[in-house]
Chain A
Amino acid sequence: MAKQLTIFVENRPGRLQSIAENLRVNNIDIRAFTIQDRGDYGLLRLIVDKPNEAYLAMADVGCACALKDVLAVSVPDQPGNFHKLTAALAASGINVLDAYGFVLQPHKTGICCVEVDRPQMTKAEEVVRQAGFAVLADEELYGL
């Protein structure tokens, strides 16, 4: 089964940055990530190219992290397939604790959805654009 790296992250500025930095330093390639928010903390879930190395790199700097088994299911990008998958699980009485999805192809570009605090006040969109990134409008995102 595939390994997911879960990292306990306090909810304060700079924490994600320092985790990302540690992953960069260790040359870890991220395939996908999500954050589960619990108010004072969150859980960062990562799919990476080298899960064991990433785990050790994070544990070395004192992070609370864990490797968990996940089912990595290949689902052709067509209407109804998610239903087909969940129906199969439901039919077997299997409860889904947690799930997320991402598309790597055909654009070969990862889409990172970031929710930020007070986006207007902090001019988040402008900041991202000025860093050289394209920010997709709603329609563009839906049309991918």
Chain B
Amino acid sequence: MIDAPFWNKEIETAERSRIEQIQLQRLKQTLAWALKTPFYQKKLTQVGIHSPEDIRSLQDLQRVPYTTKDDLRLSFPKGLMAVEMREVLRIHSSSGTTGIPTVIYFARDDVENWTDLLARSIVGTGATDSDVFQNMMTYGMFTGGLGLHYGAERVGMTVIPIGGGNTKRQIQTMKDFQTTVVHVTPSYLLHIHSKLGEDGIDRKDLALRKAFVGAEPHSENTRRKLEELLQIDAYNSYGLSELNGPGVAFECVCKKDMHVWEDAYIAEVINPDTGEVLKEGETGELVLTNLVRRAMPILRYRTRDLTFLYPQGCDCGRTHRRISRILGRTDDMLIINGVNVFPSQIEERIMKIPEVATNYQIHVDKKGSLDRLTVKVEIYPKLFLGEVAKLEALRHKIVEELRASIVISPLVELHEPGALPVSEGKAKRVVDDRPKD
């Protein structure tokens, strides 16, 4: 055992039996909240759960049906809301698989609890109130920005809410305030490294010592590369907005995969095809249940993220089990510079544009350290008028339509009718040429 830092040592090192006791008690409370929502009232009643007392053990959780992203989408806007709107303190959202976003409601105590989990995550890495924290994640409706922001403030760090992008300003700010900790996607941190020295600011002018890297699955090799290039410690962060956002699981000082905060979430790993719950060590889809979210409780959410659970135990002394870094997805979601994009969102938008024919292709590759999204469309011959200005207006329209839906601006390529590969059966419309390391 090492002498690891803690935010709430009692909870973080609680005996397994104590954690399970908390989980059962909070699960019952969550069921009581969930039964107030039209969605879960129907879903739980169908399987014979009418009150929290119908769940007697954690094993009974397996009687609860899974919740999917489609469920969240179909119950938009309020089907999963368990409190009155006046009790909702904040709304976040994430990309939906189609035009309807997934909306998450937080009551005051939900924000409190979430913030506390982030403070716990931050302190677990060895960061303290004397650190200067530059939060490079996107603010706004994404949970990545505000989540860590409040957590860092709770720890007492000096917080720089700079948000995403504008690399020159990021580097200048890191120098001006002697930033010691950043929160960033791994690809953007690599990009920042590649720009060091351009404006006369080198690594030696910076005080950087740690990075919280998240929002993008990355390999152990990428972590090592970041750590070696920048001479820092990098800690993996996991979360998804459906389950609050960051702070579901975080690496401790040991940097050997991420502790799931088991007093706030129940983590299960299942076989994505059969729904069968797998044992520790077996790779499958992560399923998460909220234990402390009153405004919008979610039970057994299928994250579509592939991972496995470690048996209990870590050199830091925490008893909360760890999950491996994310090994892949069970759906076709793309993560582009930390932004989640579903091909169906792109399809929905471009198919509404009459000048575009029915065939299209989504291409993802790397430009330098960053991801690049190119949407290739075929033009519709009957609406071709032979004018460059109209074609460029069409290109602009497609970019704007897609930006409204997926937030990022893709490159748009116009192709001849019939030029793109025709999909056979299940569409092969996505080509991901990013190197797998």
List of B residues within 8 angstroms of A67 by Cβ? 386
Q: Knowing A8-B379, A38-B392, A40-B413 touch, does A62 contact B418 (C-beta < 8 A)?
A: yes
Identify which of residues 57-82 in chain A touch chain B, using a CB-to-CB cut-off of 8 Å: 59, 62-68
List of A residues within 8 angstroms of B50 by Cβ? none
A115, B388: Cα distance in complex, Å? 20
Identify B391's interface contact among A4, A10, A15, A38, CB under 8 A: A38
> Is B392 a contact partner of A66 (Cβ separation < 8 A)?
no
Is A9 close to B, CB under 8 A?
yes
With both beta carbons as reference points, the residue of chain B lying nearest to A42 in the complex is identified as B388
With both beta carbons as reference points, the residue of chain B lying nearest to A4 in the complex is identified as B386
Q: A8-B416, A97-B387 are known contacts; what are 9 more A-B pairs with Cβ within 8 Å?
A: A15-B416, A38-B391, A41-B391, A41-B414, A62-B418, A63-B416, A63-B417, A64-B384, A66-B386
List of A residues within 8 angstroms of B417 by Cβ? 62-64
Is B415 close to A, CB under 8 A?
yes
Identify A62's interface contact among B381, B386, B387, CB under 8 A: B381
Shortest CB-to-CB span from A62 to chain B, Å, is: 5
Q: Interface centre among A4, A15, A40, A65, by most B CB within 10 Å?
A: A40
B400-437 near A? 1/0 per residue, CB < 8 Å: 00000000000001111111000000000000000000
List of A residues within 8 angstroms of B387 by Cβ? 97
List of A residues within 8 angstroms of B416 by Cβ? 8-10, 15, 41, 62-64
Is B1 close to A, CB under 8 A?
no
A68, B387: Cα distance in complex, Å? 9
With both beta carbons as reference points, the residue of chain B lying nearest to A38 in the complex is identified as B388
Give 3 closest A-B pairs by Cβ, nearest first. Answer: A6-B386, A66-B386, A64-B384
A67, B385: Cα distance in complex, Å? 8
Is A36 close to B, CB under 8 A?
yes
List of B residues within 8 angstroms of A15 by Cβ? 416
List of B residues within 8 angstroms of A64 by Cβ? 379-381, 384, 416-417
With both beta carbons as reference points, the residue of chain B lying nearest to A59 in the complex is identified as B381
A66, B381: Cα distance in complex, Å? 9
Identify which of residues 35-58 in chain A touch chain B, using a CB-to-CB cut-off of 8 Å: 36, 38, 40-41, 43
> Is A10 a contact partner of B388 (Cβ separation < 8 A)?
no
List of A residues within 8 angstroms of B418 by Cβ? 62
A9, B384: Cα distance in complex, Å? 12
> Is B386 a contact partner of A68 (Cβ separation < 8 A)?
yes
With both beta carbons as reference points, the residue of chain B lying nearest to A5 in the complex is identified as B386
Identify which of residues 4-20 in chain A touch chain B, using a CB-to-CB cut-off of 8 Å: 4, 6, 8-10, 15
> Is A65 a contact partner of B414 (Cβ separation < 8 A)?
no
> Is B388 a contact partner of A65 (Cβ separation < 8 A)?
no
> Is A63 a contact partner of B381 (Cβ separation < 8 A)?
yes
> Is A10 a contact partner of B415 (Cβ separation < 8 A)?
yes
Q: Interface centre among B379, B384, B418, by most A CB within 10 Å?
A: B384
A59, B413: Cα distance in complex, Å? 21
List of B residues within 8 angstroms of A8 by Cβ? 379, 384, 386, 391, 414, 416
With both beta carbons as reference points, the residue of chain A lying nearest to B357 in the complex is identified as A64
Identify which of residues 275-326 in chain B touch chain A, using a CB-to-CB cut-off of 8 Å: none
With both beta carbons as reference points, the residue of chain A lying nearest to B413 in the complex is identified as A40
Q: Knowing A8-B379, A10-B419 touch, does A40 contact B384 (C-beta < 8 A)?
A: no
Shortest CB-to-CB span from B414 to chain A, Å, is: 5
Shortest CB-to-CB span from B4 to chain A, Å, is: 54
Shortest CB-to-CB span from B97 to chain A, Å, is: 29
Identify A41's interface contact among B380, B385, B386, B415, CB under 8 A: B415
A65, B386: Cα distance in complex, Å? 7
Q: Knowing A36-B388, A38-B392 touch, does A65 contact B381 (C-beta < 8 A)?
A: yes
List of B residues within 8 angstroms of A62 by Cβ? 381, 416-418
A67, B381: Cα distance in complex, Å? 12
List of B residues within 8 angstroms of A9 by Cβ? 416
A12, B87: Cα distance in complex, Å? 58
A93-119 near B? 1/0 per residue, CB < 8 Å: 000010000000000000000000000
Would you mind naming 24 contact pairs between A and B with Cβ atoms under 8 Å apart? A4-B386, A8-B386, A10-B419, A15-B416, A38-B392, A40-B414, A40-B415, A41-B391, A41-B415, A41-B416, A43-B386, A43-B388, A43-B391, A62-B381, A62-B416, A62-B417, A62-B418, A63-B417, A64-B416, A65-B381, A66-B384, A66-B385, A66-B386, A68-B386
Q: Interface centre among B392, B415, B418, by most A CB within 10 Å?
A: B415
Shortest CB-to-CB span from A31 to chain B, Å, is: 18
With both beta carbons as reference points, the residue of chain A lying nearest to B416 in the complex is identified as A10
List of A residues within 8 angstroms of B386 by Cβ? 4, 6, 8, 43, 65-68
A71, B416: Cα distance in complex, Å? 28
A63, B416: Cα distance in complex, Å? 7
With both beta carbons as reference points, the residue of chain A lying nearest to B376 in the complex is identified as A40
List of A residues within 8 angstroms of B414 by Cβ? 8, 40-41
List of A residues within 8 angstroms of B415 by Cβ? 10, 40-41
With both beta carbons as reference points, the residue of chain B lying nearest to A40 in the complex is identified as B413
Q: Interface centre among A8, A15, A66, A97, by most B CB within 10 Å?
A: A8
List of B residues within 8 angstroms of A66 by Cβ? 384-386
A63, B414: Cα distance in complex, Å? 13
A36, B386: Cα distance in complex, Å? 11
List of A residues within 8 angstroms of B380 by Cβ? 64
With both beta carbons as reference points, the residue of chain A lying nearest to B392 in the complex is identified as A38
